[in-house]
């Protein structure tokens, strides 16, 4: 009878310790997550737009600058999303771990499963959650990168078409000028041949 009472006291002591440790871990993760959310994102640079002017070369330079800035903004945005996802992931894993620790302690105390069974179930649950969160994060990142790439491609296509139309306009003007001058030369040659 004495051994049963001491065994129950030992179990109660183990459960108390596990609950304290899991609560402390959850509070620590919550505090670290709260402090990391106070950071502000860097201010975005103004976007340079490429417009058609009389200088097609300058337009092409503006197009290249625009592409470089859009690429830099997309990279910064991706890094921010990855950091936010990892912070959320760490917080969720901590909370899930604390919950699993508490449940494991309660099951152990009540004698509903061996420690090995509880550990195996916990590992399966954690692996499932990790796979689920990883897949969600990958999907979000892929969608955002595709969206940014599509926007950048649209702007680049618009700028390239603008530069192309400026070049075509310049070429048409040069052809018209060349044609006018060649006609003038022909008329002068015709007048000279008639005089002689």
Res 30: pLDDT: 64
DSSP E strand boundaries for the chain? none
Question: 170: which DSSP letter?
Answer: H
Asked if residue 132 has pLDDT above 90, the reply is yes
Each residue's pLDDT tens digit, 27-51: 666 666 655 554 444 444 444 444 4
Res 95: pLDDT: 85
Mean predicted confidence (pLDDT) in 17-30: 67
Asked if residue 135 has pLDDT above 90, the reply is yes
Res 33: pLDDT: 62
Q: What are phi and psi of 47, to 5 degrees?
A: -90, 130
> By C-alpha distance, which of 121, 90, 126, 91 is closest to 104?
121
- The proportion of the chain whose per-residue pLDDT surpasses 70, expressed as a percent, equals 69
Res 52: pLDDT: 45
Comparing 167 with 72, the larger pLDDT belongs to 167
Q: Say how many C-beta atoms besides its own lie within 10 A of residue 118's C-beta.
A: 19
Do 110 and 11 contact (CB within 8 A), yes or no? no
Res 50: pLDDT: 45
Comparing 152 with 101, the larger pLDDT belongs to 152
- Exposure class string for 71-102: b at 16+ Cβ within 10 A, else e: eebbeebeeeeeeebeeebebeebbbbbebbb
Residues sharing a CB contact under 8 Å with residue 141, sequence separation 6 or more, in sequence order = 78, 81, 82, 85
Res 35: pLDDT: 54
**For residues 106 and 100, what is the distance between their CA atoms, to the nearest angstrom?**
10
Asked if residue 96 has pLDDT above 60, the reply is yes
Question: 47: which DSSP letter?
Answer: P
Residue listed under structure tokens 């179930």:
121
Res 90: pLDDT: 86
**For residues 31 and 144, what is the distance between their CA atoms, to the nearest angstrom?**
29
Res 6: pLDDT: 62
Q: What are phi and psi of 48, to 5 degrees?
A: -90, 130
User: Where does the pLDDT of residue 81 fall: very low under 50, low under 70, confident under 90, or very high at 90 and above?
Assistant: confident
- The proportion of the chain whose per-residue pLDDT surpasses 90, expressed as a percent, equals 22
């Amino acid at each position: 009878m004495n051994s049963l009472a001491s065994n129950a006291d030992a179990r109660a002591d183990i459960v108390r310790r596990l609950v304290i440790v899991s609560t402390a871990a959850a509070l620590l993760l919550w505090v670290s997550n709260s402090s990391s959310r106070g950071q502000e994102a860097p201010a975005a640079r103004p976007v340079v737009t490429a417009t058609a002017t009389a200088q097609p070369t300058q337009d092409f330079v503006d197009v290249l600058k625009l592409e470089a800035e859009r690429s830099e903004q997309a990279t910064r945005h991706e890094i921010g999303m990855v950091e936010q996802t990892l912070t959320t992931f760490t917080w969720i894993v901590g909370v899930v771990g604390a919950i699993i620790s508490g449940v494991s302690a309660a099951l152990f105390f009540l004698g509903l499963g061996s420690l090995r069974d509880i550990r195996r179930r916990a590992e399966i649950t954690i692996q499932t959650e990790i796979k689920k969160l990883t897949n969600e994060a990958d999907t979000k990142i892929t969608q955002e990168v595709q969206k940014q790439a599509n926007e950048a491609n649209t702007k680049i296509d618009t700028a390239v078409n603008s530069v192309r139309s400026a070049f075509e306009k310049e070429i048409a003007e040069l052809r018209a000028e060349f044609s006018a001058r060649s006609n003038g030369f022909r008329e002068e040659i015709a007048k000279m041949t008639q005089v002689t």
